[in-house]
């Protein structure tokens, strides 16, 4: 990677712009807590299961930063995108899932259960069957797992349930109407589906059966130093969400938005550490999240979940290049937006 692709330290002017963009968030009164879901997608780190002292310490730190909610992610696994053999993963037991909800509630955090389908070397959006018989099997398996999660959601009084996440290749299938009925029978709370970017969200036909529109936001944002271009992309994305909310009469919850703290991350915000190694760029992550929070500050958006936060309280740090914001300047951006306490050196960046 050549030197031109490496971001320069944030100058004072750029920092001021980001802080200024957050000013509307800081100035206006907070909505009623029950109307918003703002916080983190929390991933169970190896050795730090939900229910452990370390996981509770990590959740408490998220709360201290101003998070009001967490999204807990039980994974469903299938071996290939075309395999109908879907089942619950072994990353989180039902006991762990219940502990996550109880411990979050004990801290005063709302909980969204947000199941993800995990496909090795692929992603949920690639799931597509080769025959109608396979589709029937896949949906039967998915229904079984969704019903199980929805019942835990009801028993533990979770605050919201996503019936699926980024299942682009399935969301136009007719089976979703029946799946929503399955979830409603088990759980009487707030239901949503989390679509992949506005492109999928605009094609979903079952929003009228749900309580909210969920969406992940990972559009290409261009070069790391092209803030004007990035802001233009973000505004167009948010405008599309406004239009969708108006058309469906449903609020929008951003189920995921995030960025690796890595050089070059803006071009492909979805790209993982496994896909590309890079030098750390914690200031870039902080700047991009500040911009997203400012631009998504509009009445149609009723919650934003940052990707990601780990149950390991010592995760992250300035040399980490993954998505977690822990121990990085982005923590201060979020605390400033969520608590209106911006007294700390914003984003913890060393000024020139």
Q: What are the residue boundaries of the structural domains of the chain, listed by start?
A: 20-340
Predicted pLDDT at 89: 87
With a CB cutoff of 8 Å and minimum separation 6, the contacts of 202 are 240, 244
* Helix, strand or coil, per DSSP, at residue 93: coil
Measured CA angle at 9 (ends 266, 328), to 5 deg: 70
How confident is the model over 90-132, as pLDDT tens digits?
A: 889 999 999 999 999 999 999 999 999 999 999 999 999 999 9
Q: Please state whether the predicted TM-score (pTM) of the whole model is above 0.75.
A: yes
**Whole-Å CA distances, 85 to 90, 104, 126, 178, 183:** 15, 32, 15, 20, 21
Give the model confidence (pLDDT) of 241-252 as tens digits. Answer: 999 999 999 999
Confidence of residue 346 (pLDDT cuts 50, 70, 90): very low
Under DSSP, is residue 142 helix (H, G, I), strand (E, B) or coil? helix
**Higher-confidence residue: 12 or 165?**
165
- Tell me how far apart the alpha carbons of residues 137 and 128 are, in angstroms, rounded to a whole number: 12
Superfamily name and number for 20-340? Glycosidases (3.20.20.80)
Parallel/antiparallel/unpaired status of strands 252-257 and 69-72: unpaired
Burial of 259 (0-12, 13-18, 19+ CB in 10 A): buried
């Amino acid at each position: 990677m050549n030197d031109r692709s490496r971001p320069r330290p944030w100058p004072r002017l750029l920092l001021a712009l980001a802080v200024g963009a957050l000013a509307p968030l800081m100035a206006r009164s907070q909505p009623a807590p029950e109307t918003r879901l703002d916080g983190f997608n929390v991933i169970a780190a190896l050795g730090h299961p939900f229910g452990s002292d370390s996981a509770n310490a990590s959740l408490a730190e998220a709360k201290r930063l101003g998070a009001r909610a967490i999204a807990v992610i039980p994974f469903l696994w299938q071996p290939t995108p075309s395999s109908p053999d879907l089942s619950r993963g072994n990353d989180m037991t039902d006991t762990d899932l219940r502990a996550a909800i109880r411990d979050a509630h004990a801290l005063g955090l709302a909980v969204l259960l947000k199941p993800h389908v995990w496909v090795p070397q692929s992603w949920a959006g690639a799931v597509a069957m080769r025959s109608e018989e396979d589709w029937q099997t896949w949906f039967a398996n998915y229904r079984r797992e969704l019903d199980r999660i929805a019942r835990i959601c009801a028993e533990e009084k979770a605050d919201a349930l996503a019936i699926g996440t980024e299942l682009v290749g399935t969301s136009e299938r007719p089976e979703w109407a029946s799946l929503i009925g399955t979830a409603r029978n088990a759980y009487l709370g707030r239901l949503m589906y989390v679509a992949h970017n506005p492109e999928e969200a605009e094609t979903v036909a079952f929003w009228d059966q749900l309580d909210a529109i969920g969406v992940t936001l990972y559009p290409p944002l261009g070069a790391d130093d092209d803030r004007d271009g990035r802001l233009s992309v973000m505004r167009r994305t948010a405008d599309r969400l406004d239009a969708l909310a108006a058309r469906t009469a449903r609020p929008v919850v951003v189920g995921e938005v995030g960025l690796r703290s890595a050089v070059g991350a803006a071009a492909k915000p979805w790209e993982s550490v496994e896909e590309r190694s890079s030098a750390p760029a914690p200031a870039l992550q902080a700047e991009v999240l500040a911009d997203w929070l400012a631009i998504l500050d509009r009445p149609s958006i009723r919650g934003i979940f940052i990707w990601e936060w780990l149950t390991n309280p010592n995760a992250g740090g300035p040399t980490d290049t993954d998505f977690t914001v822990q121990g990085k300047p982005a923590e201060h951006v979020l605390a400033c937006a969520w608590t209106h306490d911006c007294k700390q050196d914003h984003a913890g960046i060393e000024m020139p």
